[in-house]
Structure 1
Amino acid sequence: MQIITTHLNADFDALACCMAAKKLYPEADIVLPGSMEKRVKLFFETFKPFEIKKLKEIDLDKVKTLIVVDTRSVHRIGELAQLLKKPVKVHLYDHHPKTEDDIKADFEITEQVGALASLFTEIFRKKNIPITPLEATLLCLGIYEETGCLVFPSTTERDVLAVAYLLKRGANLNIVSQFLKEELSREEVSLLNELLNSLQEYLINGIRVNIAHAVKEEPQDVSHIAHKVMDLIDTDALFLIIEMEDKILIIGRSNTPQVDVGSILSEFGGGGHWAAGSATLKERPVNLLIDELIKIIKQQVKPEKIAKDLMTTPVISVQWDRTIKEVEDMMTKYGINAMPVIKNNKYIGVITRGVVEKAIFHGLKKSRVGDFATTDAYTAEQDTPLWEIEKNMIELNQRFVPILKDDKVVGVITRTDILRNLYEELIRKFKISKPKEEIEESKKNVANLMKEFLPEEIYKILLTAGSLAEEMGYGVYLVGGSIRDLLMRKPSPDIDIVVEGDGIAFAQELSKIINGKVIPHRRFGTAKILIEIEKNGEVKRFSIDIATARTEYYESPAALPKVETSSIKKDLYRRDFTINALAVKLNTKDFGLLLDFFGGQRDIKDKKIRVLHNLSFVEDPTRAIRAIRFSEKLGFKISKHTENLIKLAVKMSIFEKLKGPRLYEELILLLKETLPHYSVKRLADYGLLKILHPSFDEKLFNELVKAHETVQGMELLFLKEKYRKEFIYLVVLLWNLKSHEREEFLKRICAPENVKKQLIENITSAEKALQNFPSEESFLEVYKLLSSLNIETIILMMIYAEEQQKRAISIYLTKLKEIKPLLRGEDLKKLGIQPGPVYKKIFDEILKEKLQGRLLSKEEEIEFVKKFGK
């Protein structure tokens, strides 16, 4: 595959040269790394001189040749710069001076001319390559723009000769003038002033539309005046109404696809495309025409977002007869600053933290909250346009808007929600002119990543879940570590879905569609769907975890959380780190839309572990161990602030209040998923290990290194027996401790009783076996000693054994372990040997011979037994 590209924010010279390169490389696709300049974009959308493919349509792994025009800078070709790191041939055409940032090319034509379009024109002339009048016009636009219509000092003789050649080939200077014209005549200046003085702005569903009116006696092309007006004002769309002798001309320009100028002006018999259009009408009263135009705009311009799209639901509210003190406790517990007040399930007002605190200051903590609620606060409906809510919140200085349906609170919109939406709108508007890499990925869609990195069957189930969510009226999201892994371009084994609604009911309906089995946990509002899919004769088994969106609060440090149903935003806020507090919407309308409320994308990019709030380790101290696990597993750095919070939690002795299995589970995961020696050392560095273990020294570090090397060696042996490497490392932590210290350690981490028993047995068995290890390399004795032990005990022995013992254990594992007599008791009976103690003696002798490499078949064993009997 070949692709042609140019610099970000393409100008006419860049666009013309992409077209020219296409004539030299007819099999190549043109791909722009970013947007075009406004006039260039307008030209392209008007004439469609060639096809441009979107970057997302290109499989970069299939690109063999990259043709770069009008730039030699690595940083100016955006995301396509990653191709320069691959085995791709690069062809370069440019007219700029050399720099240190130059692209290294396999083939290049780079000469100092005023415009690169002149260079391509020379190539066409020398090779006698035919060009159309439109192509000649575009090349002429490139030269004129780059050389200031041939007056810039950078203009060369070659540029002038190129223009002359293009004019012979049909270049249209009227079109060139239309798109490059800068200076206005006296009449045009007068017309421009009249239009600017008559401008009226209308806010239509949050879109700013400006309409201007002027009278022009002589008919003349005035479309370029619209560009001048657009350059002078800040607006989303502009309509100029110009009265002429016996007609009216309407010219429309738009900066947003929400205002489709061509569609609007088609109602007046005109046309165009979304960004530009015009219509000519018979004379009529201008005031009536403006009214009609506004009416059509209102019909066609729908609000991009309504309250339902942004509101948080369900809502934490308070009954009107609760005391002020109780409300303060609720606000602290849930971490909120305003709440709707409810009476008989109907909304009556809003109470804010500021009012609550003042009431308590005045000794009114026992008063009813309903008495102090703001009953005239602005409220909205689910279908209220977001721009209207923004306007009222600003004008009324209101930080919190309840969203009502039949006088019941169904959601809320906060000031933070509005600020985030305004930021996203700002980014959206700048996408027209800003390079792609400068645009924050605030509304990223990862559907393609999901399709690429998730198993096909999982991806189809997620599509099904999105369709079901639409039917049930729920919001459904893929959450957690799977999103982090997707953004890191890694497959993820964990599929967790959160439902804004009844998670169990959703799981039951989904399982019916995909033929799964549901295991509900009603106490927690969660469910697991077990699925079996047969593909190519192989049965694949996997599970999907589904949970109701929840929020949680902690009644005391390190206590188990109290969980209540909530919104996706609150659900994500209760998670451990920003990199895990990401969600992707699965509903059909927004499938693949990434939700990032806390900067998780930025932290993944910066490879940083950062908590969501300052009390995170106070509420759940095990997150400190998790921070080290993710840091070691992903190669991320724990942020300085997060490190300080870990040290504070240790200093405050928060870990001593931990109860239940959480500490054990986190420690096991840390030992299982990371390099144990480094992870345990980091626990010690943060002061976390001393909470569990008496000491950490160089000896323990070296033992963990040996344990890791031993486990790696075992993996190379492809042992059939399963063992838990994390238990091996856990035993190493226990090995040098005294008996009572081991008990205290296991009790402190809340290890299950069966695990405690197994670990102690493994240590005891390994110590005893090492003490009784045969002094000489007797295969039979080694076999007898080790065959009675489980694999974890044998691996443990390898860590602490002497070199001679290690050799013997290795021989046992690789050669002796599977050796057994082929004869059975029935075979001895057939040979006439009566059952009794002699059987054991015979089998021991057979085993002894086999361990020496003799008696390779059953027949040889029979012959040996016959001789043994004699």
Structure 2
Amino acid sequence: MQIITTHLNADFDALASCMAAKKLYPEAVVVLPGSMEKKVKLFFETFKPFEIKKIKEVDLDKVKTLIVVDTRSVQRIGELAQLLKKQLKVHLYDHHPKGEDDIKADFEITEQIGALASLFTEIFRKKNIPITPLEATLLCLGIYEETGCLLFPSTTERDVLSVAYLLKRGANLNIVSQFLKEELSREEVSLLNEILNSLQEHLINGIRINIGHAVKEEPQDISHIAHKVMDIIDTDALFVIIEMEDKILIIGRSNTPQVDVGLILTEFGGGGHRAAGSATLKEKPVNLIIDELVKVIKQQIKPEKVARDLMTTPVISVQWDRTIKEVEGMMTKYGINAMPVIKNNKYIGVITRGVVEKAIFHGLKQSRVGDFATTDAYTAEEDTPLWEVEKNMVELNQRFVPIVKDDKVVGVITRTDILRNLYEELIKKFKISKPVEVEESSKNVAKLMKEFFSEEIYEILTTAGKLAEEMGYGAYLVGGSVRDLIMRRPSPDVDIVVEGDGIAFAQELSKKIDGKVIPHPRFATAKILKEIIRNGEKKSFYIDIATARTEYYESPAALPKVETSSIKKDLYRRDFTINALAVKLNSKNFGLLIDFFGGQRDIKDKKIRVLHNLSFVEDPTRAIRAIRFSEKLGFKISKHTENLIKLAVKMSIFEKLKGPRLYEELILLLKETQPHHSIKRLADYGLLKILHPSLEEKKLYSELARAYETVQAMELLFLKEKYRKELIYLMVMLWNLEDHERQEFLQKICVPENIKKEVIENIISAEKALQAFPSEESPVEIYTLLSSLNIEIIILMMVYAQEQQKKAISFYLTKLKEIKPLLRGEDLKTLGIPPGPIYKKIFDEILKEKLQGRLLSKEEEIEFAKNFGK
């Protein structure tokens, strides 16, 4: 015999689930362990959707299979729990979280979803099990009631899709509305007022918990009254204690994921899920129940975040005896508005920009900063709950909170940090529609990392995270690899930034992954060379490790001065928002996405945007980089960023550039984009004339387009020789310039001397070869002309060759280039020909014959060699 059961005081989700289970187990009998809620009973008596038997009507000794729905708690199935002591099969269907007294099942389907009725609806849809309009209506009632008409935070997309499916199957929303409509009777209104008047609010780790109580003589369903209370008051969670004649009922409701009502009420023999639950107790003083309830809530609600989770470290601080004028310079250099003041390595107060500026206004710029520091500013410790930090910052009107340990500043929390956290918490609480950067900023992307990184890289990243935890560092994956990860694109780069000693970290990591460290102490960076065997082939790649740094520029376009800093400052020094993303690698928060500057929003909007308004003044090569990313990724440069590029050109910032940075950016632009489009974009922004004024006057765009098509055609030929397409495009840019203009251009962009010499020589060789090109299609002459030239010169020739010459060059590359004599010197010795200059003559003549389509086999070459000279 099979029986189907559910929890005590069955609601619509329980009744609908029993009906659904009956369709899956047609031979089973539905047996309820207790009563139904008032409106559930009214629905059942009105429509009689299926048969229900009482426990006394069933011979429990004959039960072989117990099917439990909408609960997994042993205590919540009442008398039927005794069956679990017998030898029988148990099948379980539930959507509540796990608990300590869970029923042990032989078969179970348990998933976190708004309503169990949604789960059964999905089963019916997948198995094509037909349902009647009445059955669809009951399932709809279960979903609507359990999810608060799809408004509870526990509602999932699957619940909504299930309702849509049920509506297609004839679910009657008029009936649903009729049975879920909550019209209060006079007695219920009186009970509601009693609860509201008794409410006491408890602030537990920043979460507002309201607890109310009332007395009701007649037992009946009052869960809808709890919903009414939640609608009236503004609270995170509510617990209502109702005293009845022979028992006490606790009903819980929650609006926040930090309060799991079901888990809390399991301590009182009840249960439920995160958003709603209930428990029934024997008679006990209400004040004792409230004390016990508060105690359990305190144990369950831990601070979700503490100061350590949000603080920035290391901290830029100032010694107490520095002058006000010096502090002003430091604030401007680092772009900050407040700093801790230190004396003898211990924290003594805070100095803000406002105080500094007023002091200078009053002629006190040579005074010591310690004299004007706020010494009674609020400070916090690493383990201080974040809600407490937020509360004090607001109440004390303080924009900057030092985090102190043993009188030393170990971190700071700013007003911006708090605002971002508050916004994210608001989004999480209400699950409202939000911009992508907020949605993703608290997202964990570990699964994406596992999907888009190779197995070797993923293992290295997890190892790095564990090592960071051991060393007390913060480790982050940064740069283009994070951007590409968000865009669901594989990336070959692995850049790790460490809040700590980057070189020491690299040395320890290399031991764990069996790599080789190449340190760069001057820059506080290191590379790890890692070799792997893949498909029987040895491959190697580099992992870049850097110490988290901040940088400042002493003058426009100068090389930056770099100092160690926090991940936030490290990301702020980068070029564009899309490249200022990071993923935490520490094992505690592995995969946590960090986005301080809205990079994900810009990825979603396909936009290139600088982080601050002086970005191009500090490093004008970022203007070329903006075009490169725009063309490479198909993104648009934001209007404000465009204006800043034009301003940098107008201010002649590029004239102040030193070193090879301009060349490096130009080469990357030519390498990673379609050059004709990118060069046209440079011209549109006035950047091309900066490289050389003559470039805009030439037929540069059409020639680069032709060069791009030529390179694309070369790739189709699968040439074995490697070539640098970016140098080919650079040579095309120089082709129509005079000799002195070429030299000026190469000098302007600081091309390395060896590259400069190679480029000039290649252009001259290509020009001469085109002039000397044979007028007739002689394979021997074509081979003689081209075989001495490198592949880059030949591709350059293709760009400027006439149609007949192009055909000849293509013929050389596809046919003639690989033709070689099959005979070797040893073969000539075997023929009795003594070694000497004669060998070269023989091979040259054999080659000529083969180029003309003769001597098709080695035997024919042997015969030719035998008769050579006769």
Whether TM exceeds 0.5 here: the answer is yes
**1: distance between equivalents of 2:842 and 2:857?**
16
Of stretches 437-446 and 610-619 in structure 1, the one that deviates more from structure 2 is 437-446
Structure-2 change in CA distance of 1:778 and 1:263 (3 Å) = closer
Structure-2 change in CA distance of 1:16 and 1:284 (3 Å) = closer
Structure-2 change in CA distance of 1:579 and 1:790 (3 Å) = same
- Are 1:459 and 2:458 an aligned pair? yes
**1: distance between equivalents of 2:854 and 2:394?**
92
Match of 2:328 in 1: 328
Deviations 1:633-659 (A, max 9, x none): 111111111110000000000111111
Give the CA deviation at 1:851: 1.3
Match of 1:259 in 2: 259
**2: distance between equivalents of 1:641 and 1:163?**
53
Of stretches 631-640 and 715-724 in structure 1, the one that deviates more from structure 2 is 715-724
Structure-2 change in CA distance of 1:364 and 1:292 (3 Å) = same
Structure-2 change in CA distance of 1:535 and 1:737 (3 Å) = closer
**1: distance between equivalents of 2:463 and 2:845?**
65
**2: distance between equivalents of 1:346 and 1:302?**
31
- Are 1:277 and 2:277 an aligned pair? yes
Of stretches 378-387 and 831-840 in structure 1, the one that deviates more from structure 2 is 831-840
Structure-2 change in CA distance of 1:326 and 1:398 (3 Å) = same
Structure-2 change in CA distance of 1:575 and 1:246 (3 Å) = same
Match of 1:69 in 2: none
Summarize the alignment of residues 22-37 of structure 1 with structure 2, pairs less than 5 Å apart: none
Give the CA deviation at 1:791: 1.1
Match of 1:632 in 2: 631
**2: distance between equivalents of 1:825 and 1:657?**
61
Structure-2 change in CA distance of 1:273 and 1:17 (3 Å) = closer
Give the CA deviation at 1:790: 1.1
Match of 2:3 in 1: none
- Are 1:191 and 2:202 an aligned pair? no
**2: distance between equivalents of 1:492 and 1:344?**
47
Structure-2 change in CA distance of 1:193 and 1:565 (3 Å) = same
**2: distance between equivalents of 1:831 and 1:285?**
116
Question: Per the alignment, in what secondary structure is the counterpart of residue 868 of structure 1?
Answer: coil
Q: In the alignment, is the contact (CA less than 8 A) between 2:96 and 2:273 conserved in 1?
A: no
Q: In the alignment, is the contact (CA less than 8 A) between 1:181 and 1:224 conserved in 2?
A: no
**1: distance between equivalents of 2:244 and 2:12?**
33
Give the CA deviation at 1:438: 12
Match of 2:719 in 1: 719
Give the CA deviation at 1:457: 1.7
Structure-2 change in CA distance of 1:135 and 1:781 (3 Å) = closer
Deviations 1:591-631 (A, max 9, x none): 22111111111111111111111111111111110110111
Question: Per the alignment, in what secondary structure is the counterpart of residue 413 of structure 2?
Answer: strand
Q: In the alignment, is the contact (CA less than 8 A) between 1:627 and 1:638 conserved in 2?
A: yes
Deviations 1:404-434 (A, max 9, x none): 0000000000000000000010011112x77
Summarize the alignment of residues 241-640 of structure 1 with structure 2, pairs less than 5 Å apart: 241-245=241-245, 248-281=248-281, 286-431=286-431, 440-640=439-639
The one-letter code sitting in structure 1 at the alignment partner of 2:307 is A
**1: distance between equivalents of 2:509 and 2:178?**
58
Of stretches 496-505 and 391-400 in structure 1, the one that deviates more from structure 2 is 496-505
The one-letter code sitting in structure 2 at the alignment partner of 1:632 is E
Question: Per the alignment, in what secondary structure is the counterpart of residue 475 of structure 2?
Answer: strand
Match of 2:700 in 1: 700
Match of 2:113 in 1: none
Question: Per the alignment, in what secondary structure is the counterpart of residue 592 of structure 1?
Answer: coil
Give the CA deviation at 1:819: 2.2
- Are 1:650 and 2:639 an aligned pair? no
Q: In the alignment, is the contact (CA less than 8 A) between 2:324 and 2:365 conserved in 1?
A: yes
Match of 2:132 in 1: 121
Give the CA deviation at 1:285: 5.1
- Are 1:850 and 2:861 an aligned pair? no
**2: distance between equivalents of 1:684 and 1:789?**
33
Question: Per the alignment, in what secondary structure is the counterpart of residue 555 of structure 1?
Answer: coil
Question: Per the alignment, in what secondary structure is the counterpart of residue 813 of structure 1?
Answer: helix
Q: In the alignment, is the contact (CA less than 8 A) between 1:445 and 1:593 conserved in 2?
A: yes
Question: Per the alignment, in what secondary structure is the counterpart of residue 259 of structure 2?
Answer: coil
Match of 2:666 in 1: 667
Question: Per the alignment, in what secondary structure is the counterpart of residue 699 of structure 2?
Answer: helix
Deviations 1:702-748 (A, max 9, x none): 11111111111211221111110100000011111111111111111
Q: In the alignment, is the contact (CA less than 8 A) between 2:331 and 2:353 conserved in 1?
A: yes
**2: distance between equivalents of 1:262 and 1:351?**
48
Question: Per the alignment, in what secondary structure is the counterpart of residue 183 of structure 1?
Answer: coil
**1: distance between equivalents of 2:233 and 2:24?**
42
Structure-2 change in CA distance of 1:294 and 1:367 (3 Å) = same
**2: distance between equivalents of 1:24 and 1:761?**
82
The one-letter code sitting in structure 2 at the alignment partner of 1:703 is E
Summarize the alignment of residues 677-696 of structure 1 with structure 2, pairs less than 5 Å apart: 677-693=676-692, 694-696=694-696
Of stretches 837-846 and 387-396 in structure 1, the one that deviates more from structure 2 is 837-846
Q: In the alignment, is the contact (CA less than 8 A) between 1:19 and 1:50 conserved in 2?
A: no
**1: distance between equivalents of 2:561 and 2:436?**
42
**1: distance between equivalents of 2:434 and 2:640?**
33
The one-letter code sitting in structure 2 at the alignment partner of 1:575 is R
Question: Per the alignment, in what secondary structure is the counterpart of residue 659 of structure 1?
Answer: coil
Deviations 1:785-807 (A, max 9, x none): 21111111111111112222222
Q: In the alignment, is the contact (CA less than 8 A) between 2:199 and 2:211 conserved in 1?
A: yes
Aligned-residue RMSD, C-alpha: 3.8
**2: distance between equivalents of 1:331 and 1:385?**
29
Q: In the alignment, is the contact (CA less than 8 A) between 1:12 and 1:145 conserved in 2?
A: no
The one-letter code sitting in structure 2 at the alignment partner of 1:467 is K
Give the CA deviation at 1:288: 4.8
Structure 2 residue runs without a partner (length 5+): 1-10, 27-38, 41-67, 73-91, 98-117, 151-166
Give the CA deviation at 1:833: 5.1
Deviations 1:648-695 (A, max 9, x none): 000000111111111111100100111111111111111101011223
**1: distance between equivalents of 2:787 and 2:325?**
69
Question: Per the alignment, in what secondary structure is the counterpart of residue 575 of structure 2?
Answer: coil
The one-letter code sitting in structure 2 at the alignment partner of 1:577 is F
**2: distance between equivalents of 1:137 and 1:695?**
73
Deviations 1:431-486 (A, max 9, x none): 2x779999833422222211211112211222222222222222211111111111
Question: Per the alignment, in what secondary structure is the counterpart of residue 184 of structure 1?
Answer: coil
**2: distance between equivalents of 1:351 and 1:634?**
44
**1: distance between equivalents of 2:425 and 2:737?**
61
Match of 1:212 in 2: 212
Summarize the alignment of residues 787-866 of structure 1 with structure 2, pairs less than 5 Å apart: 787-824=787-824, 827-828=827-828, 831=831, 838-866=838-866
**1: distance between equivalents of 2:139 and 2:704?**
70
**1: distance between equivalents of 2:336 and 2:834?**
85
Of stretches 692-701 and 259-268 in structure 1, the one that deviates more from structure 2 is 259-268
Structure-2 change in CA distance of 1:18 and 1:777 (3 Å) = farther
**2: distance between equivalents of 1:821 and 1:682?**
50
**2: distance between equivalents of 1:138 and 1:223?**
15
Question: Per the alignment, in what secondary structure is the counterpart of residue 773 of structure 2?
Answer: coil
**2: distance between equivalents of 1:569 and 1:578?**
12
Q: In the alignment, is the contact (CA less than 8 A) between 2:257 and 2:429 conserved in 1?
A: no
Q: In the alignment, is the contact (CA less than 8 A) between 1:178 and 1:224 conserved in 2?
A: no
Q: In the alignment, is the contact (CA less than 8 A) between 1:320 and 1:368 conserved in 2?
A: yes
Match of 1:767 in 2: 767
Match of 2:88 in 1: none
Taking every aligned residue pair, what percent have the same amino acid on both sides? 81
Of stretches 827-836 and 742-751 in structure 1, the one that deviates more from structure 2 is 827-836
The one-letter code sitting in structure 2 at the alignment partner of 1:121 is T
Match of 2:107 in 1: none
Q: In the alignment, is the contact (CA less than 8 A) between 1:20 and 1:120 conserved in 2?
A: no
Structure-2 change in CA distance of 1:484 and 1:294 (3 Å) = same
Give the CA deviation at 1:247: 5.4
**2: distance between equivalents of 1:226 and 1:780?**
96
Structure 1 residue runs without a partner (length 5+): 1-10, 27-38, 55-76, 78-89, 94-107, 109-116, 125-130, 147-158, 167-172
Deviations 1:805-850 (A, max 9, x none): 2222222222212223344556556555566655554433222212
Match of 1:82 in 2: none
Match of 1:71 in 2: none
Q: In the alignment, is the contact (CA less than 8 A) between 1:219 and 1:244 conserved in 2?
A: yes
Structure-2 change in CA distance of 1:682 and 1:18 (3 Å) = farther
